Structure 1
């Protein structure tokens, strides 16, 4: 991808395998405001700047604002973990997304690839304001025909549309459609990050949730590694499948 590309994630774990890769030019840390982490990699035709500030649309906006302190962006890409809404979407798989729907407003946003008709078999992603449970996953799939769910992509797409720049989206599946996870929402702080000590205290006395959380950890780590490969291929302009 030529020019300055903003790569917006929610959490450092989603970007770590990408920015710590040892092959090719190294990503460099940039100075950022408290709560935001930024990395940059220069290339022959511009620069890629990746960052994260926490979960949710408001925090995604913070990330983009921090990136724009360094450069005017030519394209914006939302990357990171997503939940599967379809049993055929396997955990740790990576997907290029065709379209995003904001479940709060009903707005729909097409990715740049869909605009030019290159998204056959690419999924629809629903952006929700909260981490959704298995019951809500069923409702979202039935209501919108979505196959994935996240918390940031619709906001990123809306901002890209407002700036008149191409929007892209790659998501890695951290939890499958029938995953039985504890309610994470009470433990997400205003910063968009998990309040780990209260959460760990909560699940410590609930052994029924231990297996699902360990599975989430394994899948999330695998998904981040696969996402790094897919993102770098996309940035390098190399062919990729809708699912990697």
Structure 2
């Protein structure tokens, strides 16, 4: 019998409509949402938190596959808010290591970076990796899937276009992957230049979340068609 699809996301708002009505469990310092076919874990922002949450999911679930789901920033001008990518290649920017997914669609390449990318950094990443989008978690999930012999997928929705004037968000993300919204809000009060982009990012993120959740609902049954029995991560 196939195990459940194990989905790793950074933030709950990315999958809010998907997990509505699912069973919520707080365990091992992580939040899980469970349905009959799938389980979602909220890992926090970044490659390391995503990898750690993936290891926990494998030990807890013996899943059919691992999926990295969430938001991404466009590196191509034709990608618009809410567009969904199911890439075939994931690149860890820090190490240059490449991972291959079992993408059922046209493929493409995304890069997992170490920080939230602004306009200049997006241009650099596009030139260096010829990639379609930038996010921060997929390489972490892919590394655990690879070490466990599990099928891996990534499903990402564009939340900021290539020329979006991203506010300086990185200083509000701690080493554990938590975004400190209260601290950001306090600083935002005294930064009028951030107000417009922050409102736009909230609108864009809502649209991206809706499209991401539709895509995940569509793919969960397809992703679940793998035999159960993943290897445990090597210590």
Instruction: Quote the residue 1:19 is aligned against.
Output: 19
- Larger RCO of the pair (alpha carbons < 8 Å, separation 6+): 2
TM superposition outliers: structure 1 runs of 4+ over 4 Å: none
Query: How many angstroms does 1:206 deviate by?
Result: 1.4
Q: Distance in 1 between the 2:177 and 2:26 partners? A: 20
Do residues 28 (structure 1) and 23 (structure 2) align? yes
Report SS of the residue matched to 2:60: coil
What stretches of structure 1 of length at least 5 have no aligned partner? 21-25, 239-244
Do residues 227 (structure 1) and 212 (structure 2) align? yes
Query: How many angstroms does 1:190 deviate by?
Result: 2.6
Q: Distance in 2 between the 1:111 and 1:210 partners? A: 38
Instruction: Quote the residue 1:51 is aligned against.
Output: 41
Do residues 158 (structure 1) and 160 (structure 2) align? no
Task: Specify which of 163, 168, 185 is matched with residue 200 of structure 1.
Answer: 185
Deviations 1:116-135 (A, max 9, x none): xx543x32101101111110
Instruction: Quote the residue 1:40 is aligned against.
Output: 34
Q: Is the 8 A contact 1:15 1:80 kept in 2?
A: yes
Query: How many angstroms does 1:201 deviate by?
Result: 2.0
- Number of aligned positions between the proteins: 223
Deviations 1:52-99 (A, max 9, x none): 121011211232233234321221000001111111000122111121
Q: Distance in 1 between the 2:50 and 2:43 partners? A: 7
User: Structure 1-normalised TM-score?
Assistant: 0.86
Q: Is the 8 A contact 1:38 1:67 kept in 2?
A: no
Q: How does 1:103-118 map to 2 (within 5 A)?
A: 103-113=93-103, 118=104
Report SS of the residue matched to 2:52: helix
Report SS of the residue matched to 1:38: strand
Q: Distance in 2 between the 1:50 and 1:103 partners? A: 25
